[in-house]
Amino acid sequence: MKDYRIRSIDDYMQSYQESIQDPEQFWDDYARENFIWKKSWDKVLEFDLLKPEVKWFQGAKLNITENCLDRHLSQNGDRTAIIWEPNDPKEVAKHVSYKELHSMVCQFANVLKENGVKKGDRVCVYMPMVLELAVAVLACARIGAVHSVVFAGFSSKSLSDRINDSDCKILLTADGGFRGSKVTPLKEISDEALESCPGVHRVIVLKRTESPIQMKVGRDVWWHKELMKVDDDCPAASMDAEDMLFILYTSGSTGKPKGMVHTCAGYMVYSTYSFQNVFQYEEQDVYWCTADIGWITGHSYIIYGPLSTGATTVMFEGIPSYPDVSRFWQIVEKHKVNIFYTAPTAIRALAQYGPEFVQGHDLSSLKTLGTVGEPINEEAWHWYDEHIGKKKCPIVDTWWQTETGGIMISALAGITPTKPTFATLPLPGIQPVLMDEKGDLISELVAEGRLCIAYPWPSMARTIYGDHQRFKDTYFSSFTGKYFTGDGCRRDEEGNYRITGRVDDILIVSGHNLGTAEIENAINEHTHVAESAVVGYPHDIKGNSIYAFVTLKGTDINQELIKNEILQLVCDLIGPIAKPEIIQFCSGLPKTRSGKIMRRILRKIACRETENMGDISTLLNPEVVQEIQDQALAH
Ligand code: WT7
């Protein structure tokens, strides 16, 4: 049998060539030999990117949970599928084998059926990072119901909007969720949300925090009581390749949330392929992705990719700073984690406290590190490399999106030469192109432009739930016949890609094109800077001027001095044109729950357009907004 795992840079080059020359053959081979199918496909790919319409593995029948669970049982049933680490280190971790997980999923799938859930129904999942969340997601997939996971940090308004948008009939939640020293009252928030969700007829409530809650008679039932009524025998529903697997709303967008739709076969094939190759997962490795299952990273790289591979995946209920900021490194030591995947914002936050919190923890099990979610700046990259990887672990900077379903541009661990701040090369099957503002393809190798993908890949989102026109307008209309990512990107002489940030964050200053991410990187190079966010605001002469919001490490610092040093740094690293007009020091920057800086809000403050800030209730730290606004007026 052909070895589909890329093991050298030559393998990569060869696979990449094959995948471009004959994408259908490439995915046909991989899909056929690496999964179990109830029925094979009639056609690998059919597409029209103008409509847009994309269908992979048409005619095939499958169930993703047979690939994630059943197929491992005979050989590896006792292998640990999930290591669950609780919020409170004093509570015991759980090790769940593939056999046990299979049984839990089947049993809960029967609970869903007993509660009236049918194939195709949408199920909203609003839960903390407990084992039952993974079970719930897989149980939906088991019976062909469509899961829509809503991150447990979202407000009741965000929850009800999402429930209504996709017409969910049932909600899965918990009495509460532990996050650091706080308890999130999930049931209370759900009750509030459901006041405006007439379509929800059933709520299944997991007991986790023992918080006092109200159970609405006729609507609400207890998870543990429902389990007692059913057995764990549940055949996997036979799904069409293009049946919906899940809906996931994109984070940080303005206005109405976009429910990205992912389908069964293509998503399974690509999340598995990318997991195996990017992280170079080897049998017995312990793999930990710190994301929440409320985001696409958790879907693809805590659940589906790892489980379909037969991997051991760690699920952490808590936060990096509880009980103290060494928690991540404690967990790495405790579970002997080999592959660690996190977000730059977490790295920067932990780096602030200095290496003392890392020292004293045995991180020798680590062999691969990953990042995702935003561009990683040089300083954070080096800190990660030195203090966590001890300069012996390759760092994979993985660029992708909720919409792409899987990692698109990334080094393959230990194979692709890494380059700090560069995501590096596209995975096989992925055809990135750079486009200029006029909409033309940039053919030069060394170039900067808007990042598009020129050809379909298996895990691309198929539509926005209930709004195909918006899907077309958002992603397929800016550059005809291509998927537009919304990101700006640079390509170097070796073909490496570096994401420069959202194109909406590009500033034209005196006719010069500047990436806000580039300016931020420069500012972040200052030893006293923790984080920064750069936005544009209108300027009479230059068109736009640059406004930098900066948070500092420590308190006892001369701000005037630092301001001048930052200006000099920007001058030195980019040029005088990139110098911020205004530098405002703040105690924190407004962030989404996934850790992204909400530049939209900062832009409004910079532009003095504060009458209509939009919804800030979903922010991680809404309280900083007023503070920043008040200080801004002093400038
Ligand atoms: C946007 C997608 C993919 C899961 C988490 C975020 C930015 C993502 C990187 C990276 C630079 C990155 C892009 C992208 N982004 N990864 N490695 N380097 N930027 O998913 O919420 O859909 O956000 O995150 O701007 O478009 P998302």
**Is residue 416 domain-shared with residue 446, that is, in the same domain?**
yes
Closest ligand 1 atom, residue 397 Cα:
17
> Does one domain contain both 474 and 563?
no
Residue 518's CATH number: 3.30.300.30
Asked whether residue 483 falls in the same domain as residue 606, the answer is no
Give the nearest ligand 1 atom to 410 CA: 17
- 431 and 569 part of one domain: no
Across 351-362, average pLDDT: 91
Q: Whose CA is nearest to atom 2 of ligand 1?
A: 401
Q: Is the CB of 592 under 6 A from ligand 1?
A: no
**Do 88 and 34 share a domain, yes or no?**
yes
Residues 416 and 526 in one domain: no
Q: What percent of the chain has pLDDT over 90?
A: 78
Determine, yes or no, domain membership for 3: no
Residue 223 confidence class, pLDDT cut points 50, 70, 90: very high
What mean pLDDT is predicted for residues 465-482?
Answer: 93
Cβ partners under 8 Å of residue 16, min gap 6: 425, 426, 428
Quote the CA–CA distance of 316 and 295 in Å, as a whole number.
Answer: 14
Does 400 sit in the ligand 1 pocket, CB within 6 Å? yes
- 1 belongs to a structural domain: no
Residues 216 and 159 in one domain: yes
Domain boundary among 443, 460, 489: 489
Amino acid 104: pLDDT: 98
Write out pLDDT tens, residues 485-540. Answer: 988 999 999 999 999 877 755 565 664 556 687 789 889 989 999 999 999 888 77
Ligand 1 atom nearest to 400, measured from its CA: 3
- The alpha carbon of 143 and the centre of ligand 1 are apart by a number of angstroms equal to 31
The pLDDT of residue 510 is 60
CA of 400 to the centre of ligand 1 (A): 5
Ligand 1 contact, 296 CB (< 6 A): yes
Answer yes or no: do 423 and 544 share one domain. Answer: no
DSSP 462-500: -EETT-HHHHHHHHSTTTTTSEEEEEEEEE-TT--EEEE
pLDDT of residue 254: 39
Indicate the residue among 489, 518, 545 that finishes a domain.
Answer: 489
Q: Give mean pLDDT, residues 272-287.
A: 97
Atom 21 of ligand 1, residue of closest alpha carbon: 251
Domain count, the chain: 2
Domain assignment present for 275 = yes
- Write out pLDDT tens, residues 311-338: 999 999 999 999 999 999 999 999 999 9
What is the domain range of residue 43?
9-489
Q: Do 544 and 433 fall into the same domain?
A: no
Q: Enumerate residues 6+ apart whose C-beta is below 8 A from 128.
A: 152, 174, 176, 177, 178, 179, 184, 186, 208, 317
Lowest mean pLDDT among 108-117, 509-518, 595-604: 509-518
Q: Is residue 115 part of a domain?
A: yes
| 449: in domain | yes
Same domain, 537 and 479: no
480/527 same-domain check? no
Residue 370 Cα to ligand 1 middle (Å): 13
| CB-CB contact of 1 with 30 (8 Å) | no
- Is 60 exceeded by the pLDDT of residue 48? yes
410: CATH = 3.40.50.12780
Beta carbon of 251 within 6 Å of any ligand 1 atom? yes
72-104: pLDDT as tens digits: 999 999 999 999 999 999 999 999 999 999 999
H or E, element range at 367: none
Residues 484 and 517 in one domain: no
333 domain residue, yes or no? yes
* 497 assigned to some structural domain: no
- What does the angle CA 27 – CA 30 – CA 31 come to, to the nearest 5 degrees? 80
Distance separating alpha carbons of residues 121 and 129, to the nearest angstrom: 23
Q: Model confidence at 253, in pLDDT bands (50, 70, 90)?
A: very low
Residue 407 belongs to some domain of the structure: yes
Whole-number Å distance, alpha carbon 36 to ligand 1 midpoint, is: 31
Last residue of a domain, one of 459, 489, 519: 489
